[in-house]
């Protein structure tokens, strides 16, 4: 695993199956509990990456809340790290992510573009545009993203 991300990550907790991860975003005035969920889709080995803030009153996860803790790069690095952990456990998994708003999709695209050299070492990265998956390219608008772990074959 070549994870050499340039941003600090938050400490994580996970369930035993590595399907649910939790961490706390620490800002100057507020601490926010963040949840990352890997949910199987109807297609075998395809998982949706869900991410949001835990509402402590309702127990619901909101993917539309805006924390404004000034730590978005650290939060994204933490979420990306869970993809490494998840795919280490499930090496044949394809992980699909989509922002809940166009602005979040743009943030995810910029985060992927910024880390593409590092991420591309271990993953094939795709973007969905016009209902078609294509190899991810910087500065192209996509409505969803997908990564799949590269399989390295070593001959003996």
Structural domains in the chain (count): 1
**Are the beta carbons of 147 and 118 closer than 8 angstroms?**
no
In a domain, 1, yes or no: no
pLDDT by residue (tens digit) across 48-70? 999 988 877 777 776 667 777 77
pLDDT by residue (tens digit) across 135-148? 999 989 999 999 99
In a domain, 6, yes or no: no
Range of the domain at 54: 13-149
pLDDT by residue (tens digit) across 71-126? 888 888 899 899 999 999 999 999 999 988 888 888 889 888 888 888 889 999 99
**pTM (two decimals):** 0.85
Element (H, E) at 85: helix 72-89
In a domain, 4, yes or no: no
């Amino acid at each position: 695993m070549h994870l050499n991300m340039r941003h600090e990550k938050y400490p994580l907790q996970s369930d035993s199956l590595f399907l649910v991860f939790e961490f706390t975003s620490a800002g100057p005035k507020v601490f926010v509990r963040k949840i990352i969920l890997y949910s199987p889709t109807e297609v075998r080995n395809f998982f949706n990456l869900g991410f949001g803030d835990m509402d402590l009153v309702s127990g619901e996860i909101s993917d539309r809340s805006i924390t404004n803790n000034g730590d978005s790069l650290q939060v994204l690095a933490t979420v990306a790290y869970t993809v490494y952990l998840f795919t280490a456990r499930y090496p044949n998994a394809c992980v699909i992510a989509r922002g809940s708003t166009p602005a979040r999709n743009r943030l995810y695209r910029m985060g992927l573009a910024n880390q593409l050299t590092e991420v591309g070492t271990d993953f094939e990265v795709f973007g969905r545009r016009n209902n078609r998956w294509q190899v991810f390219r910087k500065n192209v608008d996509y409505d969803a993203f997908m990564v799949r772990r590269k399989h390295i074959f070593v001959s003996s």
